[in-house]
Structure 1
């Protein structure tokens, strides 16, 4: 088993703000590894350090055995990267964008043209290779950016929010290409995302990151199993009363927030009638009840006490307060 990425106590500070706080992990070759967390959690900062675009404050990391501090050129030759923000030239064709990027690596013309053809075929853009990029849809642009990032045959590919803003159908198509790269090309992929479904579908392992720290790291299945059973969600205008009313030895966890109660228990189908009966006896109004298997959203809630959407809202409010203070 080859270790493709080795990270030890990696830290990045911006003044008093600790954006990434002593994170450590290893990724094996051919693995799809996800950094899952809300906006501002430290995901992009982590990728920026690993790709040598940002100097770590402390800690170490190696990409394919190459130290990110001691041999930045070596790291850049070993990696490909697709940024969160588009970096294509919209006035050039798909082929011209690929060719321009390939020339930066000084590859012979024959090899350049062969790789461009192969990769455009991989992402199903061969028939649009001579079209100007500004005529492409968002999904087509992301596919072209992934193809461009693979031109120099990198061993490791960084994908920063690869499907951000794309419609569900396009997102599914892009997932297919990412899976092919790992399974058939043996490329190690580290991606950042705040889409739970994306992390669950693609990643062999996931590191949940919040406030710059890794708070959980395991396979999607093991993370969901750590919750300890099925999940019953109850929507009600009085969630606090439900939380105090439903006390039973077969309930392993009960949490109340934002007009919703989430109950974790084993074999929910055996206890749902008891739950409904007790709520009726106490005359507690209920809007809806649902039963499902744990999701990564439940895992995030279990570790942080908030959903990933609430974390995003907290950070936006924090930024607004910061700017208000700066104006006064």
Structure 2
């Protein structure tokens, strides 16, 4: 009897310690993984979110960039992390399509989307087609005519095969009957650097990373993949209005935790994310970077995520295997 009482007391003490630890979250730094090198869309959003969370939680929220394989390496790392809330992933929309891309190419996916739990969406912007300002191409019509006149010679950079910068360009190529040269890099930052350095002729990017270069006069926007014209780019036509109704694509950036993270911890992270979205400094940073704030959480984010994931999987299957 005494032994049972001791065991019971030990179990109760362990539960109490667990509850206390849960209530104290976060009691130490929370790592935010970005599955791309610095400078891309996910990184541009992650940094002000992390800074806002640091102000809210009063603990460090370091960014860890784990680029490679169009984001699959970092996504898999976060998906397999201990589900305790201390490793989070700031993911791009490509997170949902990469496992399907692996299957299309006869490979075993390194993670499954179900291994990551959606917490909060922070932005969802259509991609923007840009060329260097030094280019003689000034309109979408001129761009299409130029590509058709030089099949296989006009190149574009991306964050890797099936990435959020590759899929929209492949979508446009299919819709307009274009033969373009795809040059994959390991992230949106290097892809943008390649365009600015003259290594490629065009790029489809989220508005955040390219906005400063458009303002500086280094890049020229030709079209967007949105259903409606993008705020801040009101003079840039959509591909839909230019006669390509199937060319609709969004780069969204959202926060995820490894599936299995305790519900109370998820709730705390979601609540802090909601506060971060209202943080004045965060909002200023988002506006300065050219990203449109689109905060959704709970069921609203889950519904958006599921609908977009289904659309992206269809695009990957249409692309098929890439040699």
TM-score class, shorter-chain normalisation, is under 0.3
**Greater RCO (Cα-Cα under 8 Å, separation 6 or more):** 2
Higher Rg of the two aligned structures: 1
Structure showing the higher helix proportion among its residues: 2
TM-score, length basis structure 2: 0.23
Structure showing the higher strand proportion among its residues: 1
TM-score, length basis structure 1: 0.23
